[in-house]
Structure formats: structure tokens, C-alpha cells
Amino acid sequence: MVRRRVRRRLKLGNIFLTISLIVLFSLVGIYLSKNNIFKEKESNSVVEKKEKPAKKEDKEVVNSVSVIAVGDNLIHSSVYKDASAHANWNGYDFKPMYALIKPIASQYDIAYYNQESILGGTELGLDDYPTFNSPQETGDAMIDAGFNLVSLATNHTMDSGERAVLASRSYWNSKSDVLAVGSYSSEEERNKIDIREKNGIKYTMLNYTYGTNGMPVPSGKDYLVNVWPTDIDNINNPERDTKYQNYKSVVKEDVERVRDKVDLLIVAMHWGVEYTHEPTEYEKDMAKYLSSLGVDVIIGTHPHVIQPVTYVGDTLVIYSLGNFISAQYQNRDSCTYYKCTVELMTSFKFTKTSKGKDVSYKVSDVNNELIYNYYNQSTWRGFKVIPFSNQEIANYLPNYKNVYEQYKAVVQKYNSDMPVVGYYE
């Protein structure tokens, strides 16, 4: 009996202890639950799991390209004879002429120049002013110096006829890393959308000339050279020039065909009046019209002398870069005080900033450097292009400081804040 009672008491004691523990844990659980201790830990755990990198479209992505531009590569007979002398009269070597420009141009993503004289090549027979035909080796030298963007529509494009244009086009088509525009071998080629890309920036260039020095473009073959006609001699008034105004629809169609497909759109214009530093009314009207179409940069050539650099709306306008290399006389009335041999080299940065669906573009870091096209005027040899910032300028142009100040003023005529690289000291 006694043992039996003792066991019963022990059993009842165990039951009571168990119930007490259950009640105690329940109370603790309720307390912890009310104070959100477990929920807080659980919540923290969930937050950690949900933390993810920012979505790609929310990140700001910046792409940019650097661009540099020089003017007319005008190959007179004295220039190509000098190049032949460099090659020991076995072919043509123009590279020494551009030796001081190569270290500069080759640093840029996009380097532009205007091929003023047609590169029909030696097989067609070389020729000088007034109807040029130049060695294709000058193109090789410019490419070697880093140039990869070329305008071909000039007043000299038709100088040596259709055969030279087709030979030139064939040459440029063989250079896959170079975009050459303004003169074509067919309507299909002219209307082809040729887009290049560098550093995530898509770009292209359009190119037009005011005329072809009276040299006829064969009927039905307008693709040989893009002519935006201007009647400066007889009308000299863009508003009254019907052919000029009508051609705006062609330009508009060209621009609209590429504008939404590229980030950077450049238009190279062969325009204006030779040997004058002041842009014509046609130049100003063209610049205003192209700006209204959304063109980013306009590069002007043909006057053979420097004209101002400024903005028209949001468009950077380089009215004229002047010559790059030529043998234009210093002693002619039209080329006094180095105006045909002091030239411009303009550079800028183009940036695309993307964040989600928002995209913005900016032309910045615009800079201008004066360069000098030297040659010995007694021997017609020693052609060389020299930046005013290079120490060699003192050897080839003794009064370079005074010359610099005169042409710096031309660059800044429309925009006094337009930067110009200083001269060597």
C-alpha cells in the first residue's frame, strides 16, 4: 500500500510539473510575440534576402568620344612633287608633311579632314589647278596620321570627270576603318545609311558642296557629288534663291533618315566665299537650318582661310577651318599675311548620358589650335604642318606670336569665350 501511494504521488507530481512548464513556455511565447522579438528577427532576415543590386536601367551610363578636325588637303603639283622627292622619286610619301600632326590626331577617337582635291590616282594622270587629280598616297598618309572621317564633296570633285570620282570612291571603299562621304558611285551607295560606332557612341556624317566650279555633273548621276546649290554671284540672297531653298527638302530627308539612328550627327559643309574671314548669308542660313534639324556639329571648309567658331542654337558651328596643306601663294593679294597658311585644328568631346529611358547629349571641351602650313617659297619644297604650340613654330614662322594674336581674334569674333590653345613660349 505504501509504495503504491508513493508512486501515485510521484506520478501526480510529474503531471503537475509538466503542466507548469507548458504554462510557463506559453506565457513566455506570448510575451515574446507581443514584443515582436521573433517577428523582428524574421523581418530582418527577409530584408536581407530582398536586397538586390540596383536595376540596370536605374544606373547612369556615360559614353563619350573625342573628335578633332582639320581643313582642306589641297594637293597642288608642288606638294605631290615634294612627296615624290621624299620617296626618292619612286612613288609618293606624304607622311613627313603630317609628322607633327600625327601624335595629336592619333589620340582622338574620330579625326576629320576635307579631301579638297580628288584622289583619282596616278593611273588617270595627275593634275594641278584648276582641274586637280591627286595621288591616293596622300589618303594613305592621312589615315596613317590617325584620320578616319573624310568629306569628299568639294568644288573640285568633278575636276577630272566621272572616272576620277569612281576611282576615288573605290579607293575609299577599300578603307573599312574610314568613313568617307559626300561623293558616291551609285544612288544606292549615296542613300545607304552608313553608321559607325566608337565607345558606345553611334555616329555618322553628311556632306554637301555649294557647287563644282562649273564642271557639269552628268545628267541622272547627282550621286557623284552632293551639291546644295548657292547663287552667290547673281543673287547672293538665300531667301530669293529658289534652287537653294528647294534643295533644303533633300537635306531634310537625308538628316531625318539618320537622325534617330545615331547619337552624334556631323554635317560637313563646303560653302562660303574664298579668302574671306566673314561667313556669308548662305553659311549663316545653312547653319541655322541644319541646327533646326537637330544636327550636333557643322564643320565648314572651302574659304581657304579661318572663320569664326561659335554655337547656333545647340549646334557647334566651325564656319571654316581654312587649309590644312596646300601651295597657295603668300604673295597674292588674296593670301596676304599668312591668311592661306595659318589654319585651324578644332577638337571637342561628345557625351551621351543614359539613365533608364532618359538620354541626354552634350558637346563640351571645345578647343581650337592654330597650325601653320610651311613650305620654302623659293624651292617649293619642305611642306610641313606645324602647330603653334610646338616649339618648331619659332624656326619656321619667326613672328608667330603676332600672327597668332591676329587669327585668334578671327576664331573668337562671334564668341569671345571660345578657347584657343596658346602658342609656344
- pLDDT tens track for 22-58: 545 555 455 545 555 444 444 443 444 445 555 555 7
Q: Position 194: which residue type?
A: D
In degrees, to the nearest 5, what angle opens at C-alpha 6 toward C-alphas 5 and 8? 65
Whether the predicted pLDDT of 105 surpasses 80: yes
Measuring CA to CA, which residue among 116, 181, 109, 118 is closest to residue 147? 109
Whether the predicted pLDDT of 7 surpasses 50: no
Q: Which pLDDT belongs to residue 39?
A: 44
Q: Which pLDDT belongs to residue 26?
A: 56
Whether the predicted pLDDT of 6 surpasses 50: no
Q: Which pLDDT belongs to residue 202?
A: 98
- Report, as an integer, the average pLDDT of 247-271: 98
* Higher pLDDT, residue 291 or 34: 291
CB atoms within 10 A of CB 74: 25
Q: Which pLDDT belongs to residue 25?
A: 53
Q: Which pLDDT belongs to residue 37?
A: 46
The structural architecture, per CATH, of the domain 60-411 is 4-Layer Sandwich (3.60)
pLDDT tens by residue, 181-206: 999 999 999 999 999 999 999 999 99
Half-sphere exposure of 347 (CA within 13 A, CB side): 18
pTM of the model as a whole: 0.86
Directed axis angle between helix 242-258 and helix 281-292, to 10°?
30
pLDDT tens by residue, 156-177: 999 999 999 999 999 999 999 9
CA 144 – CA 165 distance, rounded (Å): 22
CB 97 within 8 A of CB 113: no
Q: Which pLDDT belongs to residue 58?
A: 74
Q: Which pLDDT belongs to residue 329?
A: 85
Q: Position 290: which residue type?
A: L
pLDDT tens by residue, 311-345: 999 999 999 999 999 999 877 888 999 999 999 99
Phi, psi angles (nearest 5°) of residue 31 = -60, -50
According to DSSP, the β-strands at 110-114 and 60-73 are parallel
CB 209 within 8 A of CB 157: yes
Q: Indicate the pLDDT class of residue 246, thresholds 50, 70 and 90.
A: very high
Helix (H) or strand (E) holding 68: strand 60-73
Three-state DSSP class for residue 237: coil
CA 274 – CA 163 distance, rounded (Å): 27
* Higher pLDDT, residue 81 or 32: 81
Q: Which pLDDT belongs to residue 2?
A: 36
pLDDT > 90: percent of the chain: 84
CA 363 – CA 344 distance, rounded (Å): 19
Q: Which pLDDT belongs to residue 168?
A: 98
Longest CA span, the chain: 144
CA 162 – CA 166 distance, rounded (Å): 6
CA 149 – CA 108 distance, rounded (Å): 11
Name which of 2-16, 50-64, 93-107, 127-141 the model is least confident about: 2-16
pLDDT tens by residue, 349-388: 999 999 999 999 999 999 999 999 999 989 999 999 999 9
DSSP secondary structure letters along 404-416: HHHHHHHHTSS-T
The residues spanned by each domain of the chain are 1-38, 60-411
What nine digits make up the cell of 15?
503531471
